[in-house]
Amino acid sequence: MAIDVQVELRNKKLGVLMRDARLSSNHSMKDCSQALGVTPGIYKSYEEGRRSPSLPEMETLAYYLDLPLTQFWSKNVLVDDRKPLDAMDIASLMKIRHKIIGVKLRTSRLDSGTSLKSLSEQSGISAPQLTKYELGERPIPASVLEGLLELLDTVWQCFVF
């Protein structure tokens, strides 16, 4: 069974939670898009649920908004004093996180005894696309990662620092 429906619903829910977190911290979409290194249009598509950020993007947004990452799996808004984002090379950090997540995904797949072909058939995601995810060459949208981990019977929390 393809995970398309699950991904679509998760994208919508995540978008609402991202918007809620952004508004509660008094940041604009432009602020958040700059923090993530994406265009305002891409960030807007995240909040509208048409696209899903990758886990490193969600981690960066949580850090930028000074929220726990688990905020994006709840409905609670945490309001407190905010501190500015430290100066660091976010793009380099995200590249590293994409590779780490890819390795963890591949390890989870191999540990479960699932072939790339089998995971492709179960998820509806092409084997070449899955390979790019596993090599960290392409960011994995969080909702897709969640669906893949469910198919592999792995909890997403082990992917979060």
90-159 matches 4-73 in CATH topology: yes
Which CATH superfamily includes the segment(s) 4-73? lambda repressor-like DNA-binding domains (1.10.260.40)
Q: What is the pLDDT along the chain (161 residues), one digit of tens a residue?
A: 467 878 888 888 889 889 989 988 899 999 999 999 999 999 999 999 999 999 999 999 999 998 888 888 876 655 444 444 454 577 778 888 888 899 999 999 999 999 999 999 999 999 999 999 999 999 999 889 989 999 998 876 666 65
CATH of 90-159, one of 3.30.450.20, 1.10.10.10, 1.20.1440.230, 1.10.260.40: 1.10.260.40
pLDDT of residue 65: 93
Q: Which residues pair with 141 in a beta bridge?
A: 54
Which tokens is 79 given? 């309001």
Q: Quick one: CA dihedral 85, 88, 93, 95, positive or negative?
A: positive
Give me the residue spans of the domains in the chain: 4-73, 90-159
111-135 core/surface letters (b: 16 or more CB in 10 A; e: else): eeebeeeebbebbebeeeebeebbe
**Structure confidence by residue, pLDDT tens digits, 103-134:** 999 999 999 999 999 999 999 999 999 999 99
How far apart (Å, rounded) are the C-alpha atoms in residues 42 and 110?
A: 33
CB 14 within 8 A of CB 103: no
According to the model, what pLDDT value does residue 153 have?
A: 87
pLDDT of residue 60: 94
Give pLDDT, residue 88: 55
CB 146 within 8 A of CB 103: no
C-alpha dihedral over 96, 36, 41, 128, to 10 degrees?
A: 10
